[in-house]
Structure 1
Amino acid sequence: MSLIPTIAFHGMALAYRVSSLVHTLILRGRLIDQLTNGSPMPARHRLLGSIFYRLVGISVVFAANAFCPSFAQGPPPPGFEVLGAGTLAPKTKFLDGNNIPTNIDAFKGKIVVLNLWATWCAPCVKEMPSLERLASRLPADRFAIVAVNQDKGGIAVAKPFLDRLGIRGLAIYSDPTGRLPREYGGRGMPTTFVIGKDGNIISRLEGSADWDTKEIASYLELLGD
Structure 2
Amino acid sequence: MKLSRRHTLLGLAASMASPAFADKGAVGTPLPFAADLAQTVENGPSALALKIKDEDKQPVDIANWLGSWTLLSFWAPWCKQCRNEMPSIARMNRQLDHKRVRLLPLAFDWRGPYFVRKFLDEINVTDLPVYMGDGENLDATLGLSRLPTTAILDPEGVLRFTIAGEAIWDDEKTLTWLNSLEI
Q: Which category of TM-score, normalised to the shorter sequence, fits these structures?
A: 0.7 to 0.9
State the Cα distance separating 1:180 from its structure 2 match: 1.9
Alignment of 1:76-225 (within 5 A): 77-85=35-43, 87-175=45-133, 178-224=136-182
Between stretches 83-92 and 163-172, larger displacement belongs to 83-92
2 CA distance for matches of 1:151 and 1:77? 27
Letter in 1 for 2:148: P
2 CA distance for matches of 1:206 and 1:182? 17
Partner residue of 2:10?
Answer: none
How many residue pairs are counted as aligned between the two chains? 150
Paired-residue identity, %: 26
Q: Which has the larger radius of gyration?
A: 1
3-state SS of paired residue (1:133):
helix
1 CA distance for matches of 2:158 and 2:135? 23
3-state SS of paired residue (2:138):
helix
Taking only aligned residues, the RMSD between alpha carbons, in angstroms, comes to: 1.9
- Alpha-carbon displacement from aligned partner over 1:33-64 (angstroms, at most 9, x marks no partner): xxxxxxxxxxxxxxxxxxxxxxxxxxxxxxxx
State the Cα distance separating 1:97 from its structure 2 match: 2.2
1 CA distance for matches of 2:124 and 2:87? 9
Structure richer in helix, relative to its length:
1
Q: Which runs of 5+ in 1 are unaligned?
A: 1-75
- State TM-score, norm by structure 1: 0.62
3-state SS of paired residue (2:163):
strand
- Alpha-carbon displacement from aligned partner over 1:121-149 (angstroms, at most 9, x marks no partner): 01001110110011110133332111111
Q: Which runs of 5+ in 2 are unaligned?
A: 1-33
- State TM-score, norm by structure 2: 0.75
